[in-house]
Structure 1
């Protein structure tokens, strides 16, 4: 019998008792985010390190950047056959992850490299060249 088969019912009961947002605080503990990501913010860029072990075909990894959202999709597949599994801590399989960025980035200037199991993304801040600044007309109500 699967010990987690009733987990959904248990979670619903806890949600009704504590409120829907209660589990949001524990989401990363109960279900770790895949793939793991480190983000580093600089004045005009963001460096993103994505942990993707064992990727042999980079065509199987999809990276999308839309304004201030980074989206990653793909498969982590560590090829191994035979033997008895003693420890299985490296999360494998299909993944999909969206990350909100601290500021909008340019879609035309992104550098992406992969080495030693890390995907490194260099994202550049979107800086508007023109402003939509316009003077407002103020209506005087005393007249």
Structure 2
């Protein structure tokens, strides 16, 4: 008997019993979201730090900002082909993640930089109510 089919049947039965949103609450525990982020807030600014190990090409990540949502799309790929993994704790793969921001942000004042495996996205509070989705370019931050 196929264990994955059994697991699917088990999940379906729990969904039926507890409701369809039951597993949604455990999604982050069972499969953590990638990329990992830290979000810091001050009165008028936000700093989002995104964990992006092995970023060789700045076009491997797309960053979009739409009013009070930050959207990240891309791939984390550590390129270790030809080797067998003994232990893997660094999450990798294709991702698409939307982060709700604590307040709307300005589309004209966004800065994204990359250094030492981290993308730093600086956002500023929006005062007016007009907004549209904007793509953010990432630039390489050179060592001093």
TM above 0.5, yes or no, is: yes
> 5 Å matches for 1:54-133?
54-128=54-128
Go from structure 1 to structure 2 and tell me whether the alpha carbon gap of 1:51 and 1:4 turns closer, same or farther (over 3 Å shift). Answer: farther
Deviation at 1:26, TM superposition (A): 1.1
Q: Structure 1: 5+ residue runs without aligned partners?
A: 130-143
Deviation at 1:112, TM superposition (A): 0.5
Bigger mean CA deviation after superposition, 59-68 or 77-86: 77-86
> In the alignment, what sits opposite 2:50?
50
Q: Structure 2: 5+ residue runs without aligned partners?
A: 130-144
Deviation at 1:67, TM superposition (A): 0.3
Bigger mean CA deviation after superposition, 102-111 or 88-97: 88-97
State the TM-score, normalizing by the size of structure 2: 0.82
Q: Deviations over 1:80-114 (max 9, x none)?
A: 13333110121222111111111100111001010
> In the alignment, what sits opposite 1:12?
12
How far, CA to CA, are the matches of 1:121 and 1:2 in structure 2? 45
Aligned length: 129
Q: Does 1:38 align with 2:38?
A: yes
Bigger mean CA deviation after superposition, 54-63 or 17-26: 17-26
SS of match in other structure, 2:109: strand
How far, CA to CA, are the matches of 1:6 and 1:99 in structure 2? 33
Q: Which runs of 4+ in 1 moved over 6 A?
A: none
State the TM-score, normalizing by the size of structure 1: 0.82
SS of match in other structure, 2:47: strand
Bigger mean CA deviation after superposition, 43-52 or 73-82: 73-82
Deviation at 1:2, TM superposition (A): 6.5
